[in-house]
Amino acid sequence: MTPAPDRAALVAAAGEAIARGSKSFAAASKLFDRTTRERAWLLYAWCRACDDIADAQDMGHDQQVVTDPATRIARIRDLTAMALAGKPTGDPAFDGLAIVVAEARIPRAFIDDHIAGFALDADEWRPREEADLLRYCYHVAGVVGCMMAVVMGVDAHDAATLDRACDLGIAFQLANIARDIEEDDRAGRCYLPDAWLCEMDFPPGQHMKPHLRPRLAVLSRRLAMMAVAYEESAQAGTPALPYRSAWAVLAAADIYGGIARKVAAAGEHAWDHRVTTTRGEKLAAIARAATLAATRARRYPPAPRDADLWTRPVASGAR
């Protein structure tokens, strides 16, 4: 019989995963209290492992063209189902998921919604309209924001706060898409809506041609501005969080928002090299976030969420 996984060992492995996979998230996670930080690491490790399995990559790097997508999604589903059934999988990321789901009571619907995002990629899905893009962003990142909110202590039935958390995930993913247009193209993917490409008069499959970079820069700026709108909406939800969680969320929003802003500022040169934030920029964002978190109730008074923003489906998790 396979022995039950040791929680401390799983947390340590998850900490290593976030340190290797995302310096931005790793920096922000240090602001949580210990329990929340460990649960956030465990959730991150599962998300990272699913992404790596789906894209044949290592900690988000060296993405490959996948030849067996259905098999990879089936593996993700099988390992996840085993973990949630209380069966050791032998994979620390999936065994860790079982712990954080049990401790934080993350709704199963959120887990399934996230896996559905990987399935979209496996089916070679592409967005036709802006709403399709935002639905994809929900599955791959917005629902992770919902799960993180539950990890931070938000009630799974608090739809208003979860919608704000979803907004932060969507903001992160929009920044990712803007930054990774060239990398995604090499992997045979494009997340720019067909309607946008037609609007800019791109010939089919030609959006990465050098002479069309100025047009592409227009679309990357559109993504970046959308990211700002969702980031601001997410910030308005932080009064519902404990101080340290709000601090971490506001720091992550600033750090990732910096990526979107750099992409927009770089224009047609945004893909000459991978856009990142420096250690100094991360520290500055953490310092700014401390002040914002301390004054969040005053800075973000109760107000309805912008009705023009995309909203996660009613059937997704608790609403």
Domains present along the chain, CATH in parentheses: 1-123 (1.10.600.10), 126-313 (1.10.600.10)
Cα separation, 218 vs 228, whole angstroms: 15
Q: In 3-state terms, what secondary structure has residue 61?
A: strand
Predicted pLDDT of residue 62: 57
| CA-based nearest residue to 233, from 277, 294, 169 | 169
- Is 310 in contact with 131 (CB distance < 8 Å)? yes
CB atoms within 10 A of CB 176: 23
- 130-149 residue pLDDT tens: 999 999 999 999 999 999 99
| CA-based nearest residue to 42, from 5, 75, 69 | 5
Q: How confident is the model at residue 97 (pLDDT cuts 50, 70, 90)?
A: very high
Q: In 3-state terms, what secondary structure has residue 58?
A: strand
Q: How confident is the model at residue 124 (pLDDT cuts 50, 70, 90)?
A: confident
Helices (H), the chain: 7-21, 23-29, 34-55, 69-84, 92-104, 108-122, 130-137, 143-151, 159-179, 181-186, 194-199, 213-235, 243-266, 279-294, 296-299
Check residue 265 and report its DSSP letter: H
Burial category of 266 from C-beta neighbours within 10 Å (exposed 0-12, middle 13-18, buried 19 and up) = middle
Q: How confident is the model at residue 285 (pLDDT cuts 50, 70, 90)?
A: very high
What is the arithmetic mean of pLDDT over 30-59?
Answer: 91
Tokens representing 103 are: 């401790």
Q: How confident is the model at residue 28 (pLDDT cuts 50, 70, 90)?
A: confident
Predicted pLDDT of residue 276: 87
Query: What does pLDDT average to over the chain?
Result: 92
What is the arithmetic mean of pLDDT over 111-136?
Answer: 95
- Is 7 in contact with 231 (CB distance < 8 Å)? no
Is 319's pLDDT higher than 50?
no
Cα separation, 305 vs 159, whole angstroms: 12
- 177-209 residue pLDDT tens: 999 999 888 888 899 999 999 999 999 888 889
Better pLDDT: 283 or 55: 283
